[in-house]
Structure 1
Amino acid sequence: MAQQPRWLNDDEQDLWRLMLSASRKLNRVIEETLQATSDLSASEFGVLVALSEAPGHELRLRDLCVALEWDRSRTSHQVTRMEKRGLLTKSKCPGDARGVLVQLTEDGMRRVTEAAPDHVESVRRVVFDHLGREDAAALRRFLSGIIEVDNVLGASPRIPACQRVPESTLGSGD
């Protein structure tokens, strides 16, 4: 980190606080919508979406970690809680006794399918209904820049593109 703090000026401070407030509101809207309409948390919904989009509706635990950008401990605890609720199952990977395979249950698929319409409507209202095409391009560049930062505490090194699990192929192998 820098020896001397590079303090934010008033405009930067206002923008930073606006970003924090918007982030909190977005998280709160998503969480409350999912809880009210489907009795799912945003974390549960994220896991269910990743599994629902994977071939065979299953992923190795390590691939689920990558897809969610969570550490193994958080993912493992979330999966265990969701297994108790009957939303998914976990088992040993065939041919790899150390690997864990996480699979969506019929109830998990039903729940994510039922939750999706209200979820996407909330996202549309909070984000996309007032986002112009030009704004979207600038926002995409801005957010991509944030994601690329790796020289600060808490920013884990980026997974090289060749090692990332593309959303369209999650679970297609190790």
Structure 2
Amino acid sequence: MPEETTGEPRWLDADQQVQWRRYIEGASRLSEALARWHDEHLSVSLSEYEVLVRLSESPGHSMRMSRLADGLAYSRSRVTHTVRRLEAKGFVARSEAEGDRRGIECTLTPNGFETLEQEAPIHVEGVRRYMVDALDDAELESLGRAMASIARACREDE
């Protein structure tokens, strides 16, 4: 809920408007380019790839679905649909969480891990092409700091 204001809205000035629009266009084009890259070069979509990566980095290659959704900043229904697709491909398996019948664990299968290992270099090539190599080191560091600040501000309202 926005803070209550007294008076006029805090409009963006001309420079802020330019930067905002640059961000919107850049973020949209980057997401589209990486999604297209995955569609053309990998057997998993970008969102499927991110699920596989998160599971590969978790102890036992397993994670509760709710924690997976939170970590990816995806809705729980989006994660459920993505995991269903990965399960149909044999890349993950779902099971009841130990000690909690309401919780669901998602586990990376050996086939999913092997696929991730094979496709990671291709994914990184796309990330380099569309983001890392498009920026100098200072720009990349600044972008990382800026996006971390944005993520913090967004989490505060959750």
State whether TM-score is above 0.5. Answer: yes
Q: Which has the higher contact order (CA 8 A, sep 6+)?
A: 1
The whole-number CA distance in structure 1 between the counterparts of 2:156 and 2:46 is 22
Task: Give the CA deviation at 1:23.
Answer: 0.7
Task: Give the CA deviation at 1:155.
Answer: 6.6
Contact 2:97 2:103 in 1 (8 A): yes
Gap runs ≥5 in structure 2: none
Equivalent position of 2:30 in the other structure: 26
CA RMSD of aligned residues (A): 2.1
1:149 to 129, 150, 153: 153
1:37 to 32, 41, 59: 41
1:65 to 65, 69, 74: 69
**1:101-143 deviations in Å (ceiling 9; x for gaps):** 1111222222222221111111112222242333233323322
Contact 1:90 1:103 in 2 (8 A): yes
Equivalent position of 2:84 in the other structure: 80
Greater mean alpha carbon deviation, residues 100-109 or residues 70-79:
70-79
TM-score scaled by structure 1?
A: 0.77
The whole-number CA distance in structure 2 between the counterparts of 1:94 and 1:17 is 47
Gap runs ≥5 in structure 1: 158-174
Task: Give the CA deviation at 1:54.
Answer: 1.4
> Matched residue of 1:142: which SS?
helix
Task: Report how many residues are paired.
Answer: 154
2:122 counterpart letter in structure 1: D
Tell me which stretches of 4 or more aligned residues in structure 1 moved more than 6 Å: none
TM-score scaled by structure 2?
A: 0.84
Contact 1:92 1:99 in 2 (8 A): yes
The whole-number CA distance in structure 1 between the counterparts of 2:31 and 2:57 is 22
Sequence identity of aligned pairs in percent?
34
Q: Does 1:134 align with 2:138?
A: yes
The whole-number CA distance in structure 2 between the counterparts of 1:76 and 1:156 is 23
Contact 1:33 1:122 in 2 (8 A): yes
